[in-house]
Structure formats: C-alpha cells, structure tokens
Homo-oligomer: A and B are copies of this chain.
C-alpha cells in the first residue's frame, strides 16, 4: 500500500474508533437513568464491536494500529520505520481528536471541550499497564497463529478489559489524548493523561520484551 493510503487508513480508523467510544459514552449516559453499569455496558458493546469491524476492514491497508503504543511495538520489532511510525502516531492522534469532535457535533454538544473527569493514582497507572500489556499480547499472539482473528479478538479483549481494569482500559495514547478533549462519560482530565500514556507505553514494551524472551528463536525466523 502507498503511504497516503496507509496514513488515510490510520486517520479514518482512529477517527471512527473515537466517534464510537465517545459517542456511545454520551448516548449510554443520557439513556441509562443514572445507572453507570448500564452506561458502561452500552459503551462496551459499541467499543468492542466497532474495534472488531475497523480492524477487519482496515488491517489490509495500514495494519490497523490506531494506537501509538502498538505502533511503538511494531517499531521495536523492526516492522515499521521510525519515520513512518512518527507519521502513524501523528495521524492517529489527529484522527482521534477529529472523531471526538464529530461525536460532539452529532450529539449537539460544544465541539471543543476539556475533560474534568479525574482518573489518577498508582492503581489507575497499574490498570493501564495491565490493560496495554494484555492488548499487545492479544495482538502479537493472534499474529503468530491466527492473523485473521486479530479484529474479533481485540474487540473481545477490550470488551473484557473495560470491566476488569480499574481505569476502564484506555490502553491507547491517541485515545487518551482524544478523550481528554471531551467532558462526557468517557473523558479524562488532561492533567491525568501523561501518566496514562507512560503506563500504556510501559505495558506495551513489557509485553514486547516478554514475547522476545519467550520466543527468541522463533522471532528471528518470523
């Protein structure tokens, strides 16, 4: 695939992902009558489903990273150049922010917002490490044996991780930046974003390192 197609694909994919996450959070909270579990359940269904679809549709074009932490892992594996990785990360963030704004526009909210939802503390950072470790393990594990299942499996993984991690599993620096720009259900205060992003990169790199150690010989062959 040519570079413009790859970057357009990453941009559009991350855009739709954020429209999905932020939009379903708004709708869930509006309808759930104060029951946060029902709102999160709706948010879970929408996020898991759209992730599976986006990865299946876009993976043949750009690899369907939609996630700087994932792009960093592929950079470490030598499967993407440093320059292309930077370009991927830039369009992921830009796409995510645009996706958030489209969600706002669709729900007749102010387009430009800043989140005030506090998500801080060591436990939240641990949750993001666990969440991103698991996400990268899902991707690398599927790529080894079932590459065509990456989409559905990532959708299922995130559906689970929304509930079992205390941070509801952002697991994605572009998503974190974009969600800092919405003061709705799925937001995160900008002041808390840097720790989330660090934890996500750490979890991703830890998982890459573990795979490298466990499968050193096989990795070389791949």
A interface residues, Cβ below 8 angstroms from B: 5, 8, 16, 19-24, 27-28, 31-50, 52-53, 56-58, 60, 102-103, 105-108, 121, 123, 126-127, 130, 134, 137-138, 141-142, 144-146, 148-149, 153, 155-157, 159-168, 214-215
Contacts and interface: CB of A to CB of B under 8 A. Distances in A.
A210 to B, nearest CB: 8
Which applies to chain A's interface (DSSP): helix, strand, loop or mixed? helix
A49 B167 CA distance: 18
Contacts of A103: 164
Contact of A102 (B34, B41, B43, B130): B130
Nearest to A16: B134
Contact of A47 (B28, B52, B160): B160
A19 B163 CA distance: 10
A20 B160 contact: yes
A160 B49 contact: yes
B23 A32 contact: no
Contacts of A141: 56-58
Nearest to A128: B106
B214 A166 contact: no
